Amino acid sequence: MKNIREGLRLVAITGAAMTKFNRRKDGSSFRDWAFDAFEMALGKSTLERNDIDLLVVASESDFFTLQLNPASILANDLGLFNTATMRCEGGGASGQAAVHAGVQAILCRQAKHVAVIGVDPSASQLSGDTIRTLYGYSFDAWTDGMTGATSSILYALSVQAFMQDNRLTSDHLDLITIQNRQNALDNPHAHLGRKHTRSEIEQSPMIASPYRRLHCSPLSDGAAAIILSAQNVVPSARKTTPHIVGIGAANDNPHLGARQDQGSFSAKTKAVKKACAMAGLAPEDIGLAEVYDAYAGAQSQALCALGLSKDIGRETADGRFAPSGGLPINLSGGLMGQGAPVGATGVAQTVNCALFLEGQNTSPLQPSAPPSHALADTHGGICTNAAVTLLAQPDAA
């Protein structure tokens, strides 16, 4: 099959924006945040509303928004008429699934310009206990959620196996927590920028061993939006915008105990292979990445599965994944620092990668010499379904 780099219909990110991720106490709703993110992204694209052929909305749960069919409602709010609409849901991977749906629509010539919006009120609409119960139902509700197995318990069981295989201790989890929350201090959109100490982390309550409270991402509200355009109709003012050059997705057994290796995120390995084959790239070509770190150890599990690390303990301790390292990871702060409104997470990862590649990210961590390629990675469940997106600067696409 002809790979995408040899084709004529590359997909450009002509607009990218996000709201702040935090806990909203101002009476605003997900519809307000979606509107704000869309307006900013559309403004950057230099397109008009009537240029948008398709609206794709990522939202994990109707329980969060209390709105069935949110894509149609948001299209009306956004002034998008005679526009195709759809909603994507894939647990934590909902945002990347929506990005992939937009890319596929353009590559299939069903749309020239696609708006992708990720949004969820994961913090303010319902109580924390209710949200955690609902997250349990995002695994197998019969065997996990309804028996009281929470996401924290299942992530903890998985990372225990991973840490044993890689000879890691809680110090490793502390390093990731410290770095990501420190990165978030430089992100004006971030929910939880902090300057942690190991002592502070180790004194926080144990949630599910080895995870303590500060090893976990916060519940957040917010929205993110991107505008995707076919290469042949990119506005002249946006010819230097980054492109999406590869997408890949895969699934795994939803039951952790049924997997051959409980500590490995093997769906990510399959997903990144598909994305790399489409783009004609290898993991070694990636210059920065935003990866799914709902819990500190999940970041390391992701880096190994994606082929971005061969010695995770040593490379983390040596600073390879720090802002000044050879492969900066989660410069935004990741889910742990930037925050985690579920449907918005994967879209926000793509927003951050695009802006970092373009040299337009407002974070002081913006590389002075942006790399050629970036990777955005999310998953749902304990990596029950994984979605990977590869981005490139236009001259590298």
The Cα–Cα gap between 169 and 166 comes to 9
What pLDDT score was predicted for residue 190?
98
The reported pTM is 0.95
Q: Is the dihedral of CA 213, 365, 244, 49 positive or negative?
A: positive
What pLDDT score was predicted for residue 239?
86
Residue-number span of the structural domain to which 63 is assigned:
4-126+218-396
Task: Give the chain's largest Cα–Cα span.
Answer: 57
Question: Does residue 167 lie in a domain region?
Answer: no
Question: Does residue 193 lie in a domain region?
Answer: no
Distance in Å from the first CA to the final CA of the chain: 18
With CA atoms as reference, report the closest residue to 139 among 91, 209, 208.
Answer: 91
Give pLDDT tens digits along the chain (397 positions). 334 444 434 899 999 999 999 999 999 999 999 999 999 999 999 999 999 999 999 999 999 999 999 999 999 999 999 999 999 999 999 999 999 999 999 999 999 999 999 999 999 888 888 988 888 888 898 998 889 889 999 999 999 999 999 999 999 999 999 999 999 999 999 999 999 999 999 999 999 999 999 999 999 999 999 999 999 899 988 988 999 999 999 999 999 999 999 999 999 999 999 999 999 999 999 999 999 999 999 999 999 999 999 999 999 999 999 999 999 999 999 999 999 999 999 999 999 999 999 999 989 999 999 999 999 999 999 999 999 999 999 877 6
Query: Which CATH number does the domain housing residue 287 bear?
Result: 3.40.47.10
Tally the residues of the chain: 397
Angle at 100 between CA 369 and CA 308, to 5 degrees: 45
Structural domains of the chain, count: 1
Question: Does residue 143 lie in a domain region?
Answer: no
What pLDDT score was predicted for residue 7?
41
Question: Does residue 133 lie in a domain region?
Answer: no
Question: Does residue 283 lie in a domain region?
Answer: yes
Question: Does residue 308 lie in a domain region?
Answer: yes
* Close Cβ partners of 146 (under 8 Å, ≥ 6 residues apart): 136, 137
Question: Does residue 184 lie in a domain region?
Answer: no
Count how many Cα atoms sit within 13 Å of the Cα of residue 24 in the half-sphere of its side chain: 22
Q: Is 129 exposed, middle or buried (0-12, 13-18, 19+ CB in 10 A)?
A: exposed
Question: Does residue 210 lie in a domain region?
Answer: no
